[in-house]
Chains A and B, each alone.
Chain A
Amino acid sequence: MLARQAVLSTIRMVREENLDVRAVTLGINLNVCANPDPDKLVKAVYERIVEKAGSLVRFCNEVSDKYGLPIVNKRIAVSPASILLEGHTVETAVKLCQALDAAAEAVKIDLLGGFSALVQKGITPGERTLIESLPQALTATRRVCSSFNVGTTKAGINVDAVKLIARKVIETAEASRAARGFGCAKIVVFANMPEDNPFMAGAMLGPGEPECVINVGVSGPGVVKRAVDRLVQLDPEATLDEIAEEIKHTAFRVTRTGELIGREVADRLGIPFGVVDLSLAPTPRVGDSVGEIYQSMGVRLIGAPGTTAAVMLLNDAVKKGGAFASSAVGGLSGAFIPVMEDHALSKAVTDGTLTLEKLEAMTAVCSVGLDMILLPGNTKAETVAGIILDESAIGITSRKTTGVRVIPVPGAKPGEFVDFGGLFGAGVVTQSASPEGAEVFVNRGGHIPAPIHSMMN
């Protein structure tokens, strides 16, 4: 028999606190589609995705109805597309990207990740082809997301890869000038990239993963914010450890919900369940913001001293609750701070309380990276490369994932407002206190060796 309070508290989370499952992502390995004939390759890719994912949305909707719980995003992550491009041309890479896009549309999902390459130690010809194709591929498609791993704690940082990708970020922005550089919103560059991340734009089915698998991203930040609000309303003098405890309990329930939904969808698809990613992914909606959680804790102006500690507290409490809730925690599992996709963070950047440098500090305590940040149109490739190197350095030194998703907006100046609409949100163009000055360092290229603590054996 269910306890009365148990039923009531769960119903309250569903009805009033926006408990949901943020992403159910189907991983599909495409390696079997490799073919020297470009036409046969893209046909095989399209058919495999449609075959494996044809029932994904229907099953997600059925499970969603059964539990009265929204599944906000249904998505696909494929194995790194660069593997399929060995021996192929940029033209084939663009065709492949279009086939991925068409398959995503056919199975009614909004985003597909995995137009990706793992280049932390070196770049193969296929990986180079994929990177070179980015400006054309990402402007010719709507649903495909691209991601790269440029460094790991074990391998160090591939600076040559960072330079090449940074140049392509600038070119992609220019190629999507009419959409204000939107193509770059679909490129993320990681250090210590997880192989089972269900969230876009970085979702990919990494090596070592099953042929097909369901990974799940837990509920958005709204439910945690409301839990903190309720605690503070009941006890305005609540201490930070009490707030951490409240977040931990909420994270437990949120994680269990995610695993239940993920396992049931996987069961219906007849494939294994992978992981629950504990990351709290915001949307531009009011009440669905990570920044609002910091404000509920008492950080009135996001970016003020204390903000980084608030990020750390939130991350740690979510992980502790999640780790107790499930033995299948994985993916990124860190707080996202995607500026444009989070109205409170976006406002803080607009108001000038939150700077690029403060965001970088926040990423050092386990948020995932510099995400959805608008840069001026005159940003140089060396500046983008420098940002990627800094974030990668934080990641590989701290043995954690960090990522960069920046959008240089062609023709835009600092302070200019840009609106991508929908989940991608809006914000103002910002820049570093010193956007230039490290060109010589970046242009040396080569490889930054792995930190000493990588030698663990």
Chain B
Amino acid sequence: MQEPCQPDCRRFITSVLVPDRVGLLRDVTRAVFSLEGNIGSIRQTVIDGFFNLVFTSEHPRQVSPETLRALLDSTLESDAVVTVLDSPEIKPPVVPTGSRFVTMTRGKDKPGTIFAITSFLVEHGVNIEDWMVEEEDGRVVYIAQVVVPEAVDFRMIQERFREAMAKLGLTGLLCHENIFRATNEIGPIKSLIGK
């Protein structure tokens, strides 16, 4: 998380969507640098051949969001979709705090599955922090990192999630993220207990 913006600076949040090619991230960051920008948070993925980038940057006050967008538009391909928003302050998250769990849903790929999963999670106050999709043996696997509010009985959600997914012909699983940390990281297990 970035510190609050300096009085003589402005912070933007920018998203870029464009068919992938070599050098895109360099081109974007060169544009930001040329406007004396400093990148804070950044996340880049490629989905079905589309380069997808979200980042925040701080610039001198005289730089406007329109200036940055115009520069990126001229730097990138004509079919690139660029959005730059003014982000003057860091707002505290409005999502609940709680324990981090992972949901896994596996089954036949069909329309409405993600909607069903996300609807279930919303109904139970569970916030999605990350979402991944994988194909495995002809089946689609949705993996979500979620936060289950402290006040909620995770065993109840676990059971209901399993049942709700089973009604859709899917296998649903909800378990605490520490099992994945324990099996894939090398730090002491002791450090995971109580988190």
Listed in ascending order, the chain A residues whose CB lies under 8 Å from chain B are: 1-4, 6-11, 13-15, 62, 65-69, 253, 256-257, 259-260, 263-264, 267, 324, 326-327
Knowing A2-B181, A7-B180, the reply to whether A65 touches B130 (Cβ < 8 A) is no
CB-nearest residue of chain A relative to B144?
A7
> CA of A10 to CA of B102 in the docked complex: distance in angstroms?
11
Of the residues B141, B145, B175, B183, contact of A68 by C-beta under 8 Å:
B175
Interfacial chain B residues near A66, Cβ < 8 Å: 154, 175-176
Q: Is the CB of B92 closer than 8 A to any CB of chain A?
A: no
> CA of A174 to CA of B8 in the docked complex: distance in angstroms?
92
> CA of A219 to CA of B103 in the docked complex: distance in angstroms?
23
**Is the Cβ of B183 less than 8 Å from the Cβ of A67?**
no
Of the residues B143, B174, B178, B194, contact of A4 by C-beta under 8 Å:
B143
> Shortest CB–CB separation between residue B155 and chain A, in angstroms?
5
**Is the Cβ of B193 less than 8 Å from the Cβ of A264?**
yes
> CA of A66 to CA of B194 in the docked complex: distance in angstroms?
13
> CA of A68 to CA of B178 in the docked complex: distance in angstroms?
11
> CA of A6 to CA of B188 in the docked complex: distance in angstroms?
17
> CA of A264 to CA of B190 in the docked complex: distance in angstroms?
9
**Is the Cβ of A259 less than 8 Å from the Cβ of B179?**
no
Q: 19 additional contacts, CB 8 Å, given A10-B183, A257-B183, A326-B189?
A: A2-B130, A2-B177, A2-B184, A3-B184, A4-B134, A6-B184, A8-B141, A10-B180, A11-B173, A66-B175, A67-B175, A67-B179, A68-B158, A69-B175, A253-B183, A253-B184, A256-B183, A260-B178, A263-B190
> CA of A370 to CA of B158 in the docked complex: distance in angstroms?
43
CB-nearest residue of chain A relative to B133?
A4
> CA of A66 to CA of B195 in the docked complex: distance in angstroms?
12
**Is the Cβ of B154 less than 8 Å from the Cβ of A6?**
no
Interfacial chain B residues near A326, Cβ < 8 Å: 189
**Is the Cβ of A260 less than 8 Å from the Cβ of B182?**
yes
CB-nearest residue of chain A relative to B129?
A1
> CA of A10 to CA of B182 in the docked complex: distance in angstroms?
10
Interfacial chain B residues near A13, Cβ < 8 Å: 183
Q: Is the CB of B140 closer than 8 A to any CB of chain A?
A: no
> Shortest CB–CB separation between residue A259 and chain B, in angstroms?
4
Interfacial chain A residues near B184, Cβ < 8 Å: 2-3, 6, 9-10, 253
Main SS class of interface, B: mixed
Interface size class of B (residues with CB under 8 A): 20 to 34
**Is the Cβ of A1 less than 8 Å from the Cβ of B130?**
yes
> Shortest CB–CB separation between residue A48 and chain B, in angstroms?
27
**Is the Cβ of B143 less than 8 Å from the Cβ of A7?**
yes
Interfacial chain A residues near B145, Cβ < 8 Å: 1-2
Knowing A2-B102, A4-B132, the reply to whether A256 touches B178 (Cβ < 8 A) is no
Main SS class of interface, A: helix
A-B contacts, 28 listed (Cβ < 8 Å): A1-B145, A2-B184, A4-B132, A4-B134, A7-B102, A8-B134, A8-B136, A8-B141, A8-B143, A9-B184, A10-B183, A10-B184, A13-B183, A15-B171, A15-B173, A62-B155, A66-B175, A67-B175, A67-B178, A68-B179, A69-B175, A256-B183, A257-B182, A259-B189, A260-B178, A260-B179, A260-B189, A267-B194
Of the residues A2, A15, A62, A264, contact of B180 by C-beta under 8 Å:
A2
Q: Is the CB of B85 closer than 8 A to any CB of chain A?
A: no
**Is the Cβ of B132 less than 8 Å from the Cβ of A259?**
no
**Is the Cβ of A256 less than 8 Å from the Cβ of B154?**
no
Interface bits B145-164 vs A (CB < 8 Å: 1, else 0): 10000000011001000000
**Is the Cβ of A263 less than 8 Å from the Cβ of B189?**
yes
CB-nearest residue of chain B relative to A264?
B193
CB-nearest residue of chain B relative to A266?
B193
CB-nearest residue of chain B relative to A65?
B155
> CA of A3 to CA of B176 in the docked complex: distance in angstroms?
15
Q: Which B72-97 residues have C-beta < 8 A from chain A?
A: none
> CA of A69 to CA of B194 in the docked complex: distance in angstroms?
18
Interfacial chain B residues near A62, Cβ < 8 Å: 155
> Shortest CB–CB separation between residue B55 and chain A, in angstroms?
16
Interface centre among A10, A257, A259 (most CB of B within 10 A): A10
> Shortest CB–CB separation between residue A347 and chain B, in angstroms?
31
**Is the Cβ of A7 less than 8 Å from the Cβ of B173?**
no
Q: Which B40-95 residues have C-beta < 8 A from chain A?
A: none
Interfacial chain B residues near A260, Cβ < 8 Å: 178-179, 182, 189, 192-193
> CA of A67 to CA of B173 in the docked complex: distance in angstroms?
10
